[in-house]
Amino acid sequence: MEITREKALTLFKNYVDSESLIKHCLAVEGAMRGCAQHYNEDVEIWGVCGLLHDIDFQKWPHNHLEMAPKILKEAGYPQDFIQAILGHGDFTLVARDTQMAKCLYAVDQMASFTIAVALMRPTGLEGMTAKSVKKKMKDKAFARAVDRNEMQKGADELGMDIGDLISLVIEALQKRELELNAMEISMM
């Protein structure tokens, strides 16, 4: 099966209609596209992985990542793609043994946190720096649902400094926001 955003978006819409979850998945998609460019991988496939990573969360929040493999397998996605998605939750105990899996884990929380910081700024993502995101990470009351330890662990698994990962995510989200705005869609 050829992995395309168009096919993925059709599948995604069958399971996700929550505005906040859509925006989160669009942000993770953008961050994954940035990671793919950084590692010279397939931008379309990695972006689709980010888009579909929470496909079962809205309908089965207490069984997150139990239904995703079935949904994705029936849709024709390859096993390594499904494994990467399963690996983004520590609770699954699925090893992150591919670069795509490591990146998905690293950017899942990071993309949400970066968007939360952007929403507090009058200029949004424009002009945002890793330093400003790192400063907000120290404020435990800010975006308290985002696990700072997971963000650090994700950077560590990639062998990246957390500041470099934040910069990569900011740049990817800035680029993706421009592309989405042209389609009259927003991840914020």
- Map residue 162 onto helix, strand or coil: helix
Mark out the alpha helices in 75-127 (DSSP H runs). 79-86, 99-119
Cα 88 to Cα 91: distance, rounded to the nearest angstrom: 9
User: Cβ distance 178 to 36 under 8 Å?
Assistant: no
Mean pLDDT of 26-37: 97
60-69, 101-110, 171-180, range with greatest mean pLDDT: 101-110
For residue 183, the model assigns a pLDDT of 66
Enter the tokens of residue 45. 């496939």
pLDDT in tens, 124-137: 999 999 999 999 99
Position 89 confidence tier, pLDDT thresholds 50, 70, 90:
confident
- Which of residues 161 and 176 earns the better pLDDT score? 161
Does 72 score more than 80 pLDDT? yes
pLDDT in tens, 103-114: 999 999 999 999
Cα 21 to Cα 25: distance, rounded to the nearest angstrom: 6
- Which of residues 132 and 184 earns the better pLDDT score? 132
Does 79 score more than 80 pLDDT? yes
Biggest alpha carbon–alpha carbon distance for the chain: 44
For residue 90, the model assigns a pLDDT of 81
Enter the tokens of residue 53. 């990573």
State the average pLDDT for the chain: 93
- Domains of the chain with CATH codes: 5-180 (1.10.3210)
Enter the tokens of residue 83. 């494994």
Nearest to 24 by CA among 113, 106, 153, 91: 113
- Which of residues 106 and 91 earns the better pLDDT score? 106
Opening angle at CA 89, ends 87 and 91, nearest 5 = 110
Cα 146 to Cα 133: distance, rounded to the nearest angstrom: 13
Enter the tokens of residue 140. 């435990």
Residue with structure tokens 């989160």? 24
For residue 157, the model assigns a pLDDT of 96
Enter the tokens of residue 126. 């424009």
